[in-house]
Structure 1
Amino acid sequence: MNILAISGSASPKGSNFNFLAAIQKSFEDEYFISIYNQLSEFPLFSPDHLSKGIPTIVQEFKNEIEEADAVLISTPEYTHNIPAVLKNMIEWCTHSGEFSDKKIIPITFTPHAPRGEHAMQSLLFSLKALDAKVLTQFPIYKTDVEVKNQAIELSADVKEMLKTALELL
């Protein structure tokens, strides 16, 4: 199964990217997981851009979504919402339908509870507008994992939760 993992952070090599890398490593024998962390390079969406043509980086990303069997989104919470780069990506995909009926597992990866709750609500609203097929969603906190030299190691509990979620695919 081909899974596209999207880091919703404005920081390309931040903790959400490292969290997805830990998932990729933990499940490499069962799933092909590629990580996309270039949302900060997307131009700001404007309907005017659509008439001028889709920028190459955005079109390549849209192709990756279409080719994926499922999408895993990991996002932090910025000011009780999803980061602007993630919202911008969603806006680029609003009219073209890449997320329609696509299997999605959204995760908030934040420092501690209850952080992430508002971001998850916002993300779910947007995914619903895109007609995405959200299979499950959940928060994971940095207190649930171990960080060593910026690499994240998943606990047995987190691995089990992720395994159960991925089996829904």
Structure 2
Amino acid sequence: MPIKKIYAISGSAGVPSSNRKLLESLAHHYKKYCEWHLDDCLTKLPLYQPSLEERPLSEHVVNWRKGCNHADAIIICTPEYLHNIPAVLKNGMEWLKSSGEWMNKRVLPITFTPHHPRGEHAMPSLRNSLIALKANPVVELNLYKSDFQEENGLYAFNEDQCMVFDTALELLGV
């Protein structure tokens, strides 16, 4: 069975970010099970406007769509801004609506915020966008930075966290 390709997207406008670090930690921990591509292209995408679809697309939009299309599955890790997903993530998703790269694609949506209850509003917003894109969210994870410990610049996963991620990745098809 071929190695699955995971396209990991940080919804944070900031680089570096704790969301990016969680994705890097997952990629490091699960590198022998799948091929990971972590992308920071969201901040480079132009603001979506339907009229821009009629012109030659920018290189960043073309690369964003190709990255999504070539992946077997998508992992989104996002903070919550103003009880919603960040504008940069929403904009990236809008660039996929007409082209359909996420249609029927397995997606693992993760909110990663400093502590409970933050993130509770972002997940429904993210879910609605995934439904509009006809994506296939396999499970939703609401995670909190306060529950993770850092080790050597990455998050170290305890036994319970490993069990959660193992199950989520299995549902993702990895």
Q: TM-score range by the shorter chain?
A: over 0.9
TM-score by length of 2: 0.93
Task: Tell me the alpha carbon deviations over residues 2-49 of structure 1, each in whole angstroms, 9 at most, x when there is no partner.
Answer: 111110100121110011000000101111111112211111111121
- Rounded to whole Å, the distance in 1 between the matches of 2:10 and 2:149 is 19
Between stretches 66-75 and 29-38, larger displacement belongs to 29-38
The structural deviation recorded for 1:152 is 2.2
Q: Which residue of 2 aligns with 1:116?
A: 119
The structural deviation recorded for 1:155 is 2.4
Between stretches 98-107 and 38-47, larger displacement belongs to 38-47
Q: RMSD of the TM alignment (CA)?
A: 1.2
Given that residues 12 and 40 in structure 1 are in contact (C-alpha distance below 8 angstroms), is that contact kept between their aligned partners in structure 2? no
Give the fraction of aligned pairs with identical amino acids, expressed as a percent.
41
What is the aligned counterpart of 1:51 among 43, 54, 69?
54
Q: Structure 1: give runs of 5+ residues left out of the alignment.
A: none
Paired residue total: 169
Please tell me the residue identity of whatever aligns with 1:144: D
Q: Which residue of 1 aligns with 2:108?
A: 105
What is the aligned counterpart of 1:151 among 151, 154, 166?
154
Alignment of 1:24-103 (within 5 A): 24-103=27-106
Given that residues 144 and 155 in structure 1 are in contact (C-alpha distance below 8 angstroms), is that contact kept between their aligned partners in structure 2? no
- Rounded to whole Å, the distance in 2 between the matches of 1:155 and 1:16 is 18
- Rounded to whole Å, the distance in 2 between the matches of 1:126 and 1:14 is 22
- Rounded to whole Å, the distance in 2 between the matches of 1:149 and 1:25 is 12
Q: Which residue of 2 aligns with 1:16?
A: 19
Partner-residue secondary structure (3-state), 1:73: strand
Given that residues 7 and 75 in structure 1 are in contact (C-alpha distance below 8 angstroms), is that contact kept between their aligned partners in structure 2? yes
- Rounded to whole Å, the distance in 1 between the matches of 2:99 and 2:159 is 39
Query: 2:143 matched to 1:140?
Result: yes
The structural deviation recorded for 1:151 is 2.8
- Rounded to whole Å, the distance in 1 between the matches of 2:93 and 2:9 is 12
Q: Structure 2: give runs of 5+ residues left out of the alignment.
A: none
Query: 2:173 matched to 1:165?
Result: no
The structure 1 segments of at least 4 consecutive aligned residues displaced by more than 4 Å after TM superposition are none
Q: Which residue of 1 aligns with 2:133?
A: 130
- Rounded to whole Å, the distance in 1 between the matches of 2:154 and 2:33 is 21
Partner-residue secondary structure (3-state), 2:111: strand
